[in-house]
Amino acid sequence: MSNPTAAILIIGNEILSGRTQDVNVNFLAKRLAARGIQLSEVRVVPDIAHRIINAVNELRASYDMLFTTGGIGPTHDDITSECVAEAFGVPWEPHAETFAIMEKAMPAGAFNSARQRMATMPRGAVPIPNKISVAPGFSIGNVHVMAGVPRIMQSMYDALEPSLPEGTPIAMRAVYGMGVMEGAIAAGLSAIQDKFADVDLGSYPFRRETSGGVAIVAKGTDMARLEQAIAEATALIASHGIDPVQGEPA
Amino acid sequence: MSNPTAAILIIGNEILSGRTQDVNVNFLAKRLAARGIQLSEVRVVPDIAHRIINAVNELRASYDMLFTTGGIGPTHDDITSECVAEAFGVPWEPHAETFAIMEKAMPAGAFNSARQRMATMPRGAVPIPNKISVAPGFSIGNVHVMAGVPRIMQSMYDALEPSLPEGTPIAMRAVYGMGVMEGAIAAGLSAIQDKFADVDLGSYPFRRETSGGVAIVAKGTDMARLEQAIAEATALIASHGIDPVQGEPA
């Protein structure tokens, strides 16, 4: 697969403390897959400068692009922006256009020094607007810095997406075997995976209220190959005396 | 804070593809905080051997303990166990006791080679039992290898927890300001953080159906200091003409 690759860096004490359930990874994972971008790593680090700087530098060097979420508000614990400037070795300075837009949008006196920090960016950054808040995220190089609040992050991603590189969309097909035990079909499944090296074949036990089974998921960029791999997995399930289910079972 | 530190490594193509919403981090984050273990990093990597091996070695060296979730089932995409053996440089071999338990628990012929892989562990590993499945996780050194299926993982953590080191439980106190804008209280909040260096003070905008505001969250191991910091944050919110809310607002 020669699709572009991506990482997500979550700057989030609130995720590490368990106070907040992250939902940004799942949103971005789906949208990136649809655009043909391979999400290859996720990291969560605390709001500590050297941890953020090191993670930004490692991940932007390892993947074609990096998305960060969190830490771009006006409070003392919002340090992502200056950390990204330090990671890139560029000054962190007022972004004139953003400064003007934010000042204009607020009542006189409200654009205080805390809010001015949200108009301060690494030199060379390009703002990422959003429909919820006047304060933008920004892109610098291959790093895209977004809010942690999900609906603001989502709006920023909507604005950013058209500028991202495109790959072949990563499609998924699945077949479900109710009552199937993974251990019973593992050998057969492994043989199918060996035949379809270009398909990523996964096996996931699942449980519903009154039943359970295994989901066989084929992932890849060649839809015909996915269909063939799933046809073989379907036959494998059937060979164990079970009716395969093509859609997500209730 | 001199509490023991921990990292979580999620081995999970299904998280990176967006097919599955992770819930294991949130469960472990809360339980670790209650035991006084500081969760310091989370990573998600795909089911690729060198990625798993490198992440295991980096994280077990950087933190007091590492929890992994995922990739210990019987199918071809379950490679965590042999990767951990390789990370530790020890043989991956049948675990005699687990082998006997699993063989006995299954009908004749059902303990096939795929299932035997679940009884195969790095030399020196200690099984982590669970109440859902006969196949265990295992601990080796400071690395605890658990299932990806949440209820199995949770049962493994229950079994493992008494053997983990204990720190001072990390407590949280919060106060909510409905209708408060972060930018309006940022300077005052920063001053409070400066006074309470031993308290981790976070500011999180939130939104409910008909309203929104800011949550000020104090986290730390000294309850008296948390209470003092939250009392000052409460006064700060009140000084902006807003009635602070002590419990989670609806």
CATH number, residue A154 = 3.40.980.10
Name A137's bridge partners.
Answer: A128
Per-residue confidence (pLDDT) for residue A209, from 0 to 100 = 74
Per-residue confidence (pLDDT) for residue A212, from 0 to 100 = 83
Side-chain-facing half-sphere of A151: CA atoms under 13 Å:
7
**Are residues B186 and A43, on separate chains, in Cβ contact within 8 Å?**
no
**Chain A CA closest to residue B70:** A204
**Are residues A114 and B183, on separate chains, in Cβ contact within 8 Å?**
yes
Q: Mean per-residue pLDDT for B143-172?
A: 96
Q: Mean per-residue pLDDT for B65-69?
A: 98
Q: Are A111 and A186 members of one domain?
A: no
Q: With beta carbons less than 8 A apart as the criterion, state whether A210 and A168 touch.
A: no
Please report which confidence band the pLDDT of residue B190 belongs to, taking 50, 70 and 90 as the band edges: very high
Q: Six-digit token pair at B227? A: 């209470």
For residue B16, list chain A residues with Cβ-Cβ distance below 8 A.
29, 39-42
Q: Are B149 and B32 members of one domain?
A: yes
CA distance A244 to A234: 6
CA distance B16 to A170: 12
The residue range of the domain holding B73 is 5-163
For residue B22, list chain A residues with Cβ-Cβ distance below 8 A.
22, 25-26
Q: What number of other Cβ atoms are within 10 A of residue A132's Cβ? A: 14
Q: Tens digit of pLDDT for each residue in B75-111? A: 999 999 999 999 999 999 999 999 999 999 999 989 9
> Is residue B244 domain-resident?
no
Q: Are A159 and A204 members of one domain?
A: no
Widest CA span in chain B: 73
Whether the per-residue pLDDT at B250 is higher than 60: the answer is no
Q: For chain B, give the secondary structure using H, E and C.
A: CCCCEEEEEEECHHHHCCCCCCCHHHHHHHHHHHHCCEEEEEEEECCCHHHHHHHHHHHHHHCCEEEEECCCCCCCCCCHHHHHHHHHCCCEEECHHHHHHHHHHCCCCCCCHHHHHHHEEECCCEEECCCCCCCCEEEECCEEEECCCHHHHHHHHHHHHHHCCCCCCCEEEEEEEECCCHHHHHHHHHHHHHHCCCCEEEEEEEECCCCEEEEEEEEECCHHHHHHHHHHHHHHHHCCCCCCECCCCC
Question: Does residue A163 sit at the B interface (CB-CB below 8 Å)?
Answer: no
For residue B25, list chain A residues with Cβ-Cβ distance below 8 A.
15, 22, 44
Which of B135, B163, B191 is the C-terminal boundary of a domain?
B163
Whether the per-residue pLDDT at B248 is higher than 80: the answer is no
**Are residues A26 and B39, on separate chains, in Cβ contact within 8 Å?**
no
Per-residue confidence (pLDDT) for residue B22, from 0 to 100 = 96
Please report which confidence band the pLDDT of residue B2 belongs to, taking 50, 70 and 90 as the band edges: confident
Q: Are B158 and B184 members of one domain?
A: no
Question: Does residue A170 sit at the B interface (CB-CB below 8 Å)?
Answer: yes
Closest Cβ opposite residue B18 in set A33, A112, A200 = A33
Which of A145, A163, A181 is the C-terminal boundary of a domain?
A163
Q: Are B115 and B175 members of one domain?
A: no
Question: Does residue B219 sit at the A interface (CB-CB below 8 Å)?
Answer: yes
Query: Residues with Cβ < 8 Å from A205, sequence gap 6 or more?
Result: A182, A212, A213, A214, A215, B73, B149
Q: Are B116 and B231 members of one domain?
A: no
Q: Tens digit of pLDDT for each residue in B34-53? A: 999 999 999 999 999 999 99
Q: Tens digit of pLDDT for each residue in B15-38? A: 999 999 999 999 999 999 999 999
**How far apart are the CA of B150 and the nearest CA of chain A, in angstroms?**
10
> Is residue A246 domain-resident?
no
Question: Does residue B171 sit at the A interface (CB-CB below 8 Å)?
Answer: no
**Are residues B42 and A217, on separate chains, in Cβ contact within 8 Å?**
no
Q: Are A50 and A71 members of one domain?
A: yes
Provide the whole-model pTM.
Answer: 0.95
Question: Does residue A48 sit at the B interface (CB-CB below 8 Å)?
Answer: no
Question: Does residue B195 sit at the A interface (CB-CB below 8 Å)?
Answer: no
Question: Does residue B232 sit at the A interface (CB-CB below 8 Å)?
Answer: no
Please calculate the CA angle B148-B115-B70 and round it to the nearest 5 degrees: 15
Name A127's bridge partners.
Answer: A138
For residue A132, list chain B residues with Cβ-Cβ distance below 8 A.
none
- CATH of residue A219's domain is 3.30.310.50
> Is residue A89 domain-resident?
yes
Q: Are B183 and B225 members of one domain?
A: yes
Per-residue confidence (pLDDT) for residue B249, from 0 to 100 = 59
Low-confidence spans in chain A with pLDDT less than 50? none
> Is residue A70 domain-resident?
yes
Tally of domains within chain B: 2
Closest Cβ opposite residue A193 in set B32, B76, B190 = B76
**Are residues B73 and A47, on separate chains, in Cβ contact within 8 Å?**
no
Mutate to test the interface with A, among B38, B48, B75 (most CBs of A within 10 A): B75
Mean pLDDT of chain B: 94
**Are residues B40 and A187, on separate chains, in Cβ contact within 8 Å?**
no
Q: Are B91 and B18 members of one domain?
A: yes
Which of A163, A185, A215 is the C-terminal boundary of a domain?
A163
β-sheet with B171-178: strand ranges across: B171-178, B212-220, B200-207
Q: Are A132 and A26 members of one domain?
A: yes
Side-chain-facing half-sphere of B62: CA atoms under 13 Å:
18
Q: Tens digit of pLDDT for each residue in A57-94? A: 999 999 999 999 999 999 999 999 999 999 999 999 99
Q: Are B119 and B189 members of one domain?
A: no
Smallest CA-to-CA distance from B230 within B242, B245, B216 is with: B216
Q: Are B69 and B48 members of one domain?
A: yes
> Is residue A244 domain-resident?
no
